Amino acid sequence: MKNKDPLVSILMNCFNGELYLKEAIDSVINQTYKNWELIFWDNCSSDKSAEIFHSFSDKRLRYFCSEKHTGLGLGRKLAYEQICGEFLAVLDVDDVWYPKKLEQQIKFFDDQEVGIVISDTLFFNELKEKILYNGTYPQEGYVFSSLFLNYFVSLETLVLRKSVIDKLDYSFDADFDAISDFDIVVRASRISKLCICKEVLAKWRVHDLSDSWLSPVTKSIEKDKWLAKQLKHIPGFQKEYGKEIKKFIIKNQRSKALSYLVMGKRLMAFRSLFSFKSIYPTDLIIIVFCFLPLSGAFIGYYQMKRTLT
């Protein structure tokens, strides 16, 4: 790649990520696209994360340490304030990029209406692996309505155009930790096109310590808050997306009920379902689970297993 290629800023937020950190950073350094910077935001780690980072001598690696430990949303926001690039990518400390990841995705931004580019990815652990889309790809273009209801972006594949983010009211939202990527990508999709590079260019590691599994109900609670914020701050949002909002609320409450079951909070799960004006057949099955022993453990195991099958 030539020096005239646009700079890509890569956010890597870290809190005690020593286990897979070297592999993640190596996958950035090994990119065939060379004009990038890595913004490493250390959220007051107490392990060897900083030591591992400083073992690399590449000048494109920039280290920042938070003054105090924060939620992920604020950490992403503070890290974003340090970027210099025309494009933004995100790689967490336990995920990996293939060498041509940036090279292949940047090409799609030749279309000035494109603000979001993703790719296919490999979900994996020590025993299994699964290609996310595997030839069956979601909708492309202006996809806000479908993305709002059925979020299909895997974060390690994401590249955003910074000028699109700058048109939003704010970048990353400090109020959201579990849905930080959902928030910024869905808002960006209202004003720009999404394209998919139909190649496997990244790997997402599925494991018990991943933030995706630590607090299963948090994502649903934050989505309730997210919807309330859009309704409050976007004129005409209710009128324009009324049908989608109704479906979103039902789907999120159902997801919340399942999450409460996984946490062993059966009464909370039961109440979540009865917040609906109508009970659907799928909800009757969940209600039955509310009264079965070990149902939460079974659902939690099934959800993680389904990710790789």
Q: What is the pLDDT of residues 79-96, one digit of tens each?
A: 999 999 999 999 999 999
Phi-psi region of 39 (alpha: psi -120 to 50; beta: other; left: phi over 0): beta
pLDDT digits (tens, 9 = 90+) for 171-187: 999 999 999 999 999 99
pLDDT at 257: 77
pLDDT at 118: 98
Please give the Cα distance from 19 to 49 (Å, whole number): 8
pLDDT at 209: 56
pLDDT at 260: 76
Please give the Cα distance from 11 to 23 (Å, whole number): 16
pLDDT at 254: 80
Q: Give 10-residue mean pLDDT values along the chain (309 residues).
A: 81 97 98 98 98 98 97 97 98 97 98 98 91 96 96 97 97 96 98 98 81 67 95 94 92 80 68 60 55 49 48
pLDDT at 87: 98
Question: 237 is written with which tokens?
Answer: 């949002």
DSSP letter at 235 equals T
Identify the CATH class of 8-207: alpha beta
pLDDT at 208: 59
pTM of the model: 0.87
> CA distances (Å), 236 to each of 29, 42, 146, 192, 241, in order?
45, 39, 18, 19, 8
pLDDT at 280: 57
What does the CA dihedral 291, 221, 188, 76 come to, rounded to 10 degrees? -120
Task: Name the residue with tokens 């999120």.
Answer: 252
Please give the Cα distance from 180 to 183 (Å, whole number): 5
pLDDT at 106: 98
DSSP letter at 306 equals H
pLDDT at 284: 53
Q: For the beta carbon of residue 276, count every other beta carbon within 10 angstroms.
A: 14
Task: Name the residue with tokens 């009865």.
Answer: 274
Q: What is the CA radius of gyration of the chain?
A: 20
pLDDT at 301: 45
* Residues shown for the chain: 309
Question: 90 is written with which tokens?
Answer: 């995100």
pLDDT at 125: 87
Domain boundaries, the chain: 8-207, 215-307
Residue partners of 268: CB distance under 8 A and separation at least 6: 260
List, in sequence order, every beta strand (DSSP E) within 126-268: 129-131, 159-161, 193-205
Question: 103 is written with which tokens?
Answer: 């090279």
List, in sequence order, every beta strand (DSSP E) within the chain: 8-14, 36-42, 61-65, 87-90, 96-97, 114-124, 129-131, 159-161, 193-205
